[in-house]
Amino acid sequence: METSVDTTNSNASVTDTLASSLSPRRTSSSDSFPVIRFLQAPVTTVLEYSGVFRPRSNNNDYNESHTLIHDHHRSLSDSDRPTVSNANGDNGEVSIRIIGAADPEEGDGGEGGEPGAVNAGDGGRGEREMADSSDVEGENGGSGSRSDSSSQQRYDMQQVSRWIEQILPFSLLLLIVFIRQHLQGFFVTIYVTAFMYKSNDILQKQTALKGERKLSVLAGYFIVFVLHVIGVYWWYQNDDLCYPLFMVPPRAIPPFWHAIFTIIVNDTMVRQAAMAIKLILLMYYRNGKGHNFRRQGQMLTLVEYALLLYRAFLPAPVWYRFFLNKEYGSLFSSLTTGLYLTFKLTSIVEKVGSLWTALKALSRKDVHYGSYATPEQVIEAGDLCAICQEKMQAPVLLRCKHIFCEDCVSEWFERERTCPLCRSVVKPADIRSYGDGSTSLFFQLF
């Protein structure tokens, strides 16, 4: 007995239904981060939890589902008439043939008005069934190739993650041994770096206080900074740590990590000493107003750019001794040393230009973003500063014709280049200002 069933769904819909039913789903218990699995395979677990990989809780089910889906693709492409045995065990067979939706005209029998017979002998229907079957097979083939490509990419990513997981424990073991071999150097580097960051924060806060700064507090910070620098160099008095400060190469060729340590400590201590000099400037300009605070910002900027130039020279003696190693041959060592000094010269030229610009800004007696306003101009403007909302002190007329207190507008132009009211560009883009007392925190390693 044969039964013909008309349906609007193609074979692809059946395949999608099977794939969705057989694909692994994340249960509610897997929503939480698997800590135990993370300890076993950290990289793969993170990728699975983020959605890059499929959860591998049931690897066998995952492989079986893929096998079933591919087998079902092959079965549907081979024949559109699967045979289903009767549940009662009868010898009779029920064949189900899936065909496309019939046209209304064909259902009515076409031109003659006779009902169209649905059987294997219908030539037009048979051709359309063959076309539908070929379309479905083409769609299945294209989706299969895309699925194979994505599966291959996931497989490659899984192999890479497993390789990383295999070498990760050994890498951590090597890191622990390396830290143990240079334990003192690690602790000293972390300590001086943390102290420098805290000192920079203290200096910026003291600069922002302006007239409210206390002389005793500034003097106390100055003594702490100086003692800290002296203590570090006293601790390493038997090493070659002090030689690069005077542009003298170390006596012996330093190993690579020892060279890095020497450069980092010297670079940090030089910045610490520069912060002590900036504290002296804050003491000197503590009771200043207007013009003095602008001069204070220019002096702080000049000190910082002089520090940047000196720090550019600081690693040169260490790397000069490191590259000039005769064990690798005179020609090779001379070539590498010459290349390094050439690269260093380009960065030094830039630092010299910035220092010269800071010196020219300090030598100007007038305000380089405007001029001092006359009493008539102040009265015409209302004698009220738009920034501090008080009576103007040392009023400055900007190029955009707005007037502000010199103290207020100088602090404004430490961060901005435009007028506070009309937002027109007033300050020239020459160099970055360090008038807020900040210090560059980037290490000068090379």
Separation CA 253–CA 386 (nearest Å)? 61
Separation CA 333–CA 438 (nearest Å)? 39
What tens-digit pLDDT sequence spans the chain (446 residues)? 444 444 444 444 444 544 444 444 444 444 566 667 666 677 677 777 666 666 655 444 444 444 444 444 444 444 444 444 444 444 444 555 555 544 444 444 444 444 444 444 444 444 444 445 455 455 555 566 667 777 777 777 777 777 777 787 788 888 888 888 878 888 888 999 999 999 999 999 998 887 788 899 999 999 999 999 999 999 888 777 888 999 988 888 888 888 999 999 999 999 999 999 999 999 988 766 555 777 888 889 899 999 999 999 999 999 999 988 877 778 888 888 889 988 888 889 888 988 888 888 777 665 667 778 888 888 888 888 888 888 888 888 888 888 888 778 877 877 777 888 888 887 766 677 788 888 998 888 88
Could you count the other beta carbons within 10 Å of the beta carbon of residue 396? 26
Structure token digits, residue 378: 């102040």
Separation CA 177–CA 221 (nearest Å)? 38
Let me know: does 25 contact 9? Beta carbons within 8 Å. Answer: no
Q: Scanning the structure block, which residue is given the tokens 């989706």?
A: 143
Give the Å distances, CA to CA, from 266 to 177, 201, 273, 317.
26, 20, 10, 12
Region class of 250: left (phi > 0), else alpha (psi between -120 and 50), else beta: beta
Structure token digits, residue 150: 């994505």
> Cβ contacts of residue 278 below 8 Å, gap of 6+?
203, 207, 300, 303, 437, 439
pLDDT at 112: 41
Longest dimension (CA), the chain: 116
Structure token digits, residue 319: 């790397």
Separation CA 71–CA 341 (nearest Å)? 68
Which 8-state DSSP code applies to residue 237? T
Domains with residue ranges and CATH for the chain: 2-102+118-179 (no CATH), 185-363 (no CATH), 370-412 (3.30.40.10)
Q: pTM for the full model?
A: 0.61
Let me know: does 147 contact 70? Beta carbons within 8 Å. Answer: no
Nearest one of 262, 258, 192, 220 to 441, comparing CA atoms: 192
pLDDT at 27: 41
SS3 content of the chain, % helix, strand, coil (to 5): 65, 5, 30
Give the Å distances, CA to CA, from 250 to 47, 82, 263.
48, 86, 12
Let me know: does 48 contact 56? Beta carbons within 8 Å. Answer: yes
User: At what angle are helices 183-209 and 123-181 packed, to 10 degrees?
Assistant: 100
pLDDT at 368: 66
Partners of 84 in the β-ladder: 94
Could you count the other beta carbons within 10 Å of the beta carbon of residue 50? 8
pLDDT at 364: 67
Could you count the other beta carbons within 10 Å of the beta carbon of residue 212? 8
DSSP letters, 351-369, are HHHHHHHHHHHHH-SS-TT
Helices (H), 285-405: 291-313, 316-323, 330-363, 375-381
Which pairs with CB-CB distance under 8 Å and at least 24 residues apart come from 166-171?
168/42, 168/43
Give the Å distances, CA to CA, from 338 to 320, 343, 346.
9, 9, 13
